[in-house]
Amino acid sequence: MKTVRKFNSFEELKASEKGAENYELSLMKHEKFQEVLKQIYSISVQQKKNNESK
């Protein structure tokens, strides 16, 4: 069962939303970073194969 947090003021609610947005953005950046690392790895593996075949 989820607990519901009670906010004492509108400012507190807005600060909580901002924190959630920042967390989402950091997750998106992390996922994009992981994707870039995979691409770099695949390129380096391909180059290594090309160098070995020469």
Residue 9 DSSP label: S
- Residue 20 counted as domain residue: yes
pLDDT at residue 22, as a whole number: 82
Tokens of 12: 């507190």
13 part of a folded domain: yes
pLDDT in tens, 3-45: 777 878 888 878 888 878 888 888 888 888 888 889 999 999 9
- Please report whether residue 4 resides in a domain: no
The parent domain of residue 26 ranges over 9-54
Which pTM value belongs to this model? 0.47
Q: How many domains does the structure of the chain reveal? A: 1
Residue 3 lies in a domain: no
CB 7 within 8 A of CB 16: yes
* 36: Cα within 13 Å, side-chain hemisphere: 6
SS3 31: helix
pLDDT at 46: 92
Candidates 28, 29, 30, 5; CA nearest to 17 is 5
Length of the chain: 54
